[in-house]
């Protein structure tokens, strides 16, 4: 077997037993990148020399002290909106161009300290604004299962890299589904933790009240190990929760007996592909057969989620992106005065989708419209959160599809922003409520494209959704499917 195809936990075991070196594993990942990335374009920036040096140091550490750190020597890809000291960070935008950060994001520091090997920075929708990885200012990423289709977004590069074995695991961010939806489209596991569980310090902000960092992995155990490494309080992030981090891998018992699962009726309505609904309902029946109790529930304010999200998220984006003015860093145009420099820098630097969201957000925050749009959206957001709070009085987790369809074709929705926004209809409520959710494979459609199931949990109860997802994964073979990149 190609070492790059190993899971994180299997690769880690071979490293600790000295059956495989980190340098061999890292070279295998870069060999896979050279064989496949001209087809899928998952990476913006590769750092082969630095990665091999990190791998060499990991091998020395393994020989010296036999470290049991799960990430030691493991090649990991990083979405290109994480600040990485000395390594170009573009956010897939012309306005940042060749920006090289002077420091690491907290999460990057944590994986470096754990001995991970960073292979490079992966492609995304510009400033994480998109659902298809087509909005990158550099190039679109393609789905490894079908090169004519999108990998999902905005963490499309990370999902495609994991699915095609160009890395062992990856990091992404999720503001409205940007880890979970591409995970579903690419047939991998992706987790958005509870808001505040993982530090956002050093992440290029999109919508600060919803952005969250999470892992994309080949299976659920890898996801648990990654979360153990990156979670925890960070004084540098004022939204970081000061709570202890459980040993998530210890929750993977394979047993779902006694768990109460809610199935919201609002998620199985007109617009969902029949094959997606059938696959998710079959997965629910399997969990019930294995001992979980299942009941239908209601999340009555779901229908307002898209409207609320695209007011709150764009308003926060308008505020966060005001710093890109051509003065302190990034692209600067040659205007005749300060105002023209501001205007030209932003005109040349931002892509169409980013401009659209800035304008929407600025409008929603403007005098005379703040109460009618932004304030009202925040009130409805509170109602959406209350829906989840009420549901979790009756159940331990909620099961839904991750996306209403499988991966759509490149170019199919790019000219219709509303249709593109609706592709996240099952994921955005989770970010509005701040609860954790995980996507994992639960089948394939007639075109051989992966289908994702979403498992939603209570605040700071990632252990239960990981336990549930692991039990389902162990009872099925869907996660073992691999795209045939050689065809």
Exposure string for 198-236, b = 16+ CB within 10 A, e = fewer: bbbbbbbbbbbbbbbbbbbbbbbbbbbbbbbbbbbebee
Q: CA 27, CA 209: separation in Å to the nearest integer?
A: 39
Q: CA 399, CA 282: separation in Å to the nearest integer?
A: 12
Identify which of 414, 400, 397 has the alpha carbon closest to the alpha carbon of residue 468: 397
135, 151 Cβ separation under 8 angstroms: no
Q: Two tokens at 463? A: 């252990």
Residue 417 has a pLDDT of 86
Q: CA 233, CA 235: separation in Å to the nearest integer?
A: 7
Domain boundaries, the chain: 3-261+400-480, 302-381
Question: Under CATH, to which class is 3-261+400-480 assigned?
Answer: alpha beta
DSSP state string for 122-169: E--SGGG--SSS---SS----BTTBTTB---SSSHHHHHHHHTTSSSE
Residue 58 has a pLDDT of 97
Q: Two tokens at 368? A: 């005379």
Q: CA 31, CA 25: separation in Å to the nearest integer?
A: 10
pLDDT in tens for each of the 487 residues of the chain? 799 999 999 999 999 999 999 999 999 999 999 999 999 999 999 999 999 999 999 999 999 876 789 999 999 999 999 999 999 999 999 999 889 999 999 999 999 999 999 999 999 999 999 999 999 999 999 999 999 999 999 999 999 999 999 999 999 999 999 999 999 999 999 999 999 999 999 999 999 999 999 999 999 999 999 999 999 999 999 999 999 999 999 999 999 999 999 999 999 988 899 999 999 999 999 999 999 999 999 999 999 999 999 999 999 999 999 999 888 888 888 888 988 898 898 999 999 999 999 999 999 999 889 999 999 999 999 999 999 999 999 999 999 999 999 999 999 999 888 889 888 999 999 999 999 999 999 999 999 999 999 999 999 999 999 999 999 999 999 999 999 876 5
Element (H, E) at 454: strand 450-457
Q: Which residues are catalytic?
A: 79, 154, 178
Q: CA 408, CA 121: separation in Å to the nearest integer?
A: 24
């Amino acid at each position: 077997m190609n070492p790059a195809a190993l899971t994180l936990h299997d690769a880690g075991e071979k490293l600790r037993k000295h059956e495989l070196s980190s340098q061999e594993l890292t070279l295998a990942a870069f060999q896979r990148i050279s064989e496949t990335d001209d087809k899928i374009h998952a990476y913006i920036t590769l750092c082969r020399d630095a990665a091999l040096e990190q791998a060499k140091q990991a091998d020395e550490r393994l020989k010296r002290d036999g470290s049991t750190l799960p990430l030691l020597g493991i090649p990991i890809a990083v979405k290109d909106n994480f600040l990485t000291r000395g390594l170009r960070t573009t956010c897939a935008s012309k306005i940042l161009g060749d920006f090289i950060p002077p420091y690491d994001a907290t999460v990057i520091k944590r994986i470096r300290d754990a001995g991970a090997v960073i292979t490079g920075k992966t492609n995304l929708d510009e400033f994480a604004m998109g659902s298809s990885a087509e909005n990158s200012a550099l190039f679109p990423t393609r789905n490894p299962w079908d090169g004519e289709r999108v990998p999902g977004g905005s963490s499309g590069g990370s999902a495609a890299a994991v699915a095609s074995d160009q890395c062992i695991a990856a990091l992404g961010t999720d503001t409205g589904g940007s880890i979970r939806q591409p995970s579903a489209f690419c047939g991998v596991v992706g987790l958005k933790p509870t808001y505040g569980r993982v530090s956002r310090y050093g992440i290029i902000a999109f919508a600060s009240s919803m952005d969250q960092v999470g892992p994309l992995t080949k299976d659920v155990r890898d996801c648990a190990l990654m979360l153990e490494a990156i979670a925890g309080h960070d004084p540098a992030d004022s939204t970081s929760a000061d709570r202890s981090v459980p040993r998530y891998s210890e929750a993977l018992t394979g047993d779902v007996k006694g768990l109460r699962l809610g199935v919201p009726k609002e998620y199985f309505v007109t617009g969902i592909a029949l094959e997606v609904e059938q696959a998710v309902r079959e997965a629910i029946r399997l969990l019930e057969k294995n001992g979980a109790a299942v009941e239908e529930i209601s999340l009555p304010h779901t229908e307002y989620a898209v409207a609320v999200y695209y007011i709150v998220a764009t308003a926060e984006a308008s505020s966060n992106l005001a710093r890109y003015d051509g003065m302190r860093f990034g692209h600067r145009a040659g205007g005749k005065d300060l105002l023209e420099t501001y205007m030209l820098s932003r005109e040349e630097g931002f892509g169409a989708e980013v401009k659209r969201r800035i304008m929407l957000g600025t409008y929603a925050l403007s005098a005379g419209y703040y109460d009618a749009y932004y304030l009202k959206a925040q009130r409805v957001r509170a109602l959406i959160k209350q829906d989840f709070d009420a549901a979790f009085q009756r159940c331990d987790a909620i099961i839904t599809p991750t996306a209403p369809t499988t991966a759509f074709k490149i170019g199919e929705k790019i000219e219709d922003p509303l249709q593109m926004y609706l592709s996240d209809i099952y994921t955005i409520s989770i970010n509005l409520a701040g609860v954790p959710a995980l996507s994992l494979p639960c089948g394939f459609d007639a075109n051989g494209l992966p289908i994702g199931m979403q498992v939603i949990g209570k605040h700071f109860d990632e252990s239960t959704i990981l336990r549930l997802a692991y039990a389902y994964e162990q009872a099925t073979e869907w996660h073992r499917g691999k795209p045939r990149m050689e065809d």
